[in-house]
Amino acid sequence: MKKMLLALLLLTTLSLSLFAQGGAEQATYPTKPITITIPVSAGGGTDLLVRSMTGVLKDILGQTVNVVNKPGAGAAIGYAAGASDKPDGYSVTSMLAELITTPQVAQVNFSYESFIPVCNINSECATITVRADAPYDTLEEMIAYAKANPGSISFGNSGVGGIWHFIAAAVASSTGMEVTHVPFEGGGTAVTALAGGHVDAVPVTPQEVEVQVKAGRAKVLAVLAPERVASLPNVPTAKELGYDDLSFSIFRGFGVPLNTPDHIVQTLSNAFEKALADPAVTKFMEERHFTKDFQTGAELGELMAREEKIYAEMAKQLGLKK
């Protein structure tokens, strides 16, 4: 009887110790810097938005938040690295449409299900933006020019299988244009190439071309959205011009490797939500015309599941399916 009581006492002590240790871990996370991996190049909309939040996130979490760009192969390099990171909450990956589109066209060892979604912070539309000196000022004129000069218009995109490759292909298919696709490591580098005269058009977000448009190096012909964008009130939607199928929503969120503890996922989600509400981040987003769209991890997961079906079908229709 004494041995049984002693065993029970030891088991209880051990359980309480483990419980206390687990509680301490939950209470102390994070205890070291956190790294956010962005699988596209620096200078694009995602990069600018995430970097605008790091200082505020440091204040909220009490630890430095670093940003590392790992572009290449339609974001496959960054996502493969992010999916294999240690599930301890110190490695966060930027969740973009490429997480869904790239697996449609390439043999990769990840999918959106390789991550636990933390939250979404922003959603945007796409544009059709061309060089300022292009010999067309409207989408209709661009289409007419392309048909009169097949293959003469080059579209910069974010790499084979990237979201901008999909959208450029969809634009060409819907309008009947024959275009040349030129891959880059992200929207930012594609826009730089546009400004430098190396490509004729890019299908990126309004934020990614805003600086070049204001500088007089680019002009937006249409937005690929259900309705006009507040920052571009005089630019028509493709739908207005008769292209009902050219409307896309570009999400920007975060995820962590599978098996990351629930309390860490929730801590990160809370931190991003608070950062999104911070006055400094709010001011940045308003000045750069980013739209706030906070969604929980569960909601982001549902969104990606829906998007996966859409882009899988689009890949088949556009002849991009692997």
Statement to judge: residues 73 and 37 lie in one domain? yes
Q: Render each residue's pLDDT in the chain as its tens digit; 322 residues.
A: 455 544 444 444 445 444 444 444 456 999 999 999 999 989 888 999 999 999 999 999 999 999 999 998 889 999 999 999 999 999 999 999 999 999 998 899 999 999 999 999 999 999 999 999 999 999 999 999 999 999 999 999 877 778 888 899 999 999 999 999 999 877 888 999 999 999 999 999 998 899 999 999 999 999 999 899 988 999 999 999 999 999 888 899 999 999 999 999 999 999 999 999 999 999 999 998 899 999 999 999 999 999 999 889 888 888 887 7
Which residues span the domain enclosing 294? 32-124+251-317
Please indicate, yes or no, if residue 235 is contained in any of the structural domains: no
Query: What pLDDT shows up at residue 74?
Result: 82
In terms of domains, do 282 and 203 share one? no
Same domain? For 117 and 173 the reply is: no
Same domain, 136 and 220: yes
Strands (E) in the chain, as ranges, are 34-38, 65-69, 91-95, 115-124, 126-131, 153-157, 179-183, 201-202, 218-224, 250-257, 292-296
User: Does 3 fall in a domain?
Assistant: no
The confidence score (pLDDT) of residue 184 equals: 87
What's the pLDDT at 20? Answer: 44
Angstrom distance (rounded) from CA 28 to CA 7? 31
- Residue 162's pLDDT is what? 82
188 and 132 together in one domain: yes
Placement of tokens 């496959």 in the chain = 76
The pLDDT value given to residue 41: 87
pLDDT at 157: 86
- Strand 91-95 to strand 34-38: parallel, antiparallel, or no bridges (unpaired)? parallel
C-alpha span between 160 and 42 (Å, rounded): 18
What's the pLDDT score for residue 8?
44
Residue 141 domain-assigned? Answer: yes
Q: Enter the pTM of the model.
A: 0.80
Q: Write down the pLDDT at residue 65.
A: 98
CB-CB neighbours of 14 under 10 Å = 10
pLDDT computed for residue 158 by the predictor:
77
Q: What is the DSSP letter of 74?
A: T
Instruction: Give the pLDDT of residue 26.
Output: 54
Is 216 found in the same domain as 133?
yes
Q: What is the pLDDT of residues 111-125, one digit of tens each?
A: 999 999 999 999 999
> 279 and 199, same structural domain?
no
Q: What is the pLDDT of residue 16?
A: 44
* Domain count along the chain: 2
